[in-house]
Structure 1
Amino acid sequence: MQLDPVTGWCAGVQHCPSPNFNARPSGEVSLLVIHNISLPPGQFGTGKVQQLFQNCLPGDEHPYFADIVHLRVSAHFLIERDGGVTQFVGCGERAWHAGVSRFDGREGCNDFSLGIELEGTDEQPFTDAQYSSLVALTRQLLQAYPELSVQRICGHSDIAPGRKTDPGPYFDWARMRAALSERGER
């Protein structure tokens, strides 16, 4: 995978453009937010996350979908259980992933962050393939966006405490940070 910092799109990953984005107010990218998602909850490889982010989730297909079909949400990237990466929004644009949020005293994290969804739940570990893809993608992002650093990578739970719990207790922060530090990421 190779990120083009001019377009904000990665070559070598699947592209599934979402209509749920808008312009960043200042163009700043200085925070990376890690999430988890599965649709229906606890089920993987269904393609329903992609449908949610494209506003075409069938609300009558599962009881859980009826409660979320109205949402207009997205993330920049999704990393599936097999390590496959899908990009929904260019990195220069504001994806709608953080909601009501605050980081380092600043409200509205969507304005200055990138969002990566890991296919998963709070109740089980993520796969080796997901960590491998996450580290590779994060390295690309750190290289392209100088205001982003390892210290400015957090979970959704960190920016929306009490409202969000992802990526959850099974996300191995030490593993990710150790893998990034192997090559001296800032």
Structure 2
Amino acid sequence: MYLIEPSGWLANAIKHPSPNYNQRPDWAEISLLVIHNISLPAGRFGGPYVHQLFSNCLDCDAHPSFDDLRGLNVSAHVFIDRNGTIHQFVSFNDRAWHAGVSQFDGRDSCNDFSIGIELEGADDIVYTQAQYRELIAVTESVQSYYPAITAARIVGHCDIAPGRKTDPGSAFDWVSYKNALG
């Protein structure tokens, strides 16, 4: 488990403050954890592109698949790369722009009340043990700091945006992940 500072930043994370966030509504209790995956270009790992996307400095001419990302302003609270390194882009206290059009438990706009964790990956490529190890540690930290996030309130992007999103995909081992949580 890791220390979450009162400012909402993980003490052990590499910090890359993103401009893509805003304040949560006053009424919003942080009560949902959303697991995502991302790789740029799709299925390729490493490189600067995810960080550039979350920082609004991605050169959309660098790869043909980036054209759809032109003008997109997105972020996540945390990104865990294939080596298990934790990068934080937005304070947990703030609203990161990770969920888009979404709904959970009858409530729309999941960004208002959720934390988004991106794993460097793709739906059909097995995640690394280092990623699971760090994801479990971050999840336990988040659950300790935000007790409204119960096991039933940890979901995939696919669960809050069905038909629109498929991540973290079939390669994500939900059973082992949830069994490992304290």
Instruction: Give the TM bin, normalised by the shorter chain.
Output: over 0.9
Equivalent position of 2:116 in the other structure:
115
SS in 1 for 2:75: coil
1:55–1:69 Cα contact (<8 Å) kept: no
Letter in 2 for 1:149: T
Equivalent position of 1:177 in the other structure:
178
Equivalent position of 1:139 in the other structure:
140
1:20–1:95 Cα contact (<8 Å) kept: yes
Letter in 1 for 2:112: D
Q: After the TM superposition, which residues 78-97 of structure 1 pair with which residues of structure 2 at under 5 Å, given as runs?
A: 78-97=79-98
1:10–1:87 Cα contact (<8 Å) kept: yes
TM-score (norm 2): 0.97
Q: After the TM superposition, which residues 137-176 of structure 1 pair with which residues of structure 2 at under 5 Å, given as runs?
A: 137-176=138-177
SS in 2 for 1:174: helix
Equivalent position of 2:49 in the other structure:
48
TM-score (norm 1): 0.95
Measured in 2, the distance between the counterparts of 1:127 and 1:151 equals: 24
* Alignment RMSD: 0.8
Shift of 1:150: 1.1
Shift of 1:69: 2.6
1:81–1:130 Cα contact (<8 Å) kept: yes
Measured in 1, the distance between the counterparts of 2:9 and 2:153 equals: 21
Structure 1: 5+ residue runs without aligned partners?
Answer: none
Among all aligned residue pairs of Structure 1 and Structure 2, give the percentage whose two residues are the same amino acid: 56
Shift of 1:65: 1.2
SS in 1 for 2:10: strand
Q: Does 1:73 align with 2:74?
A: yes
Shift of 1:27: 4.2
Shift of 1:167: 0.3
User: How many correspondences in the alignment?
Assistant: 180
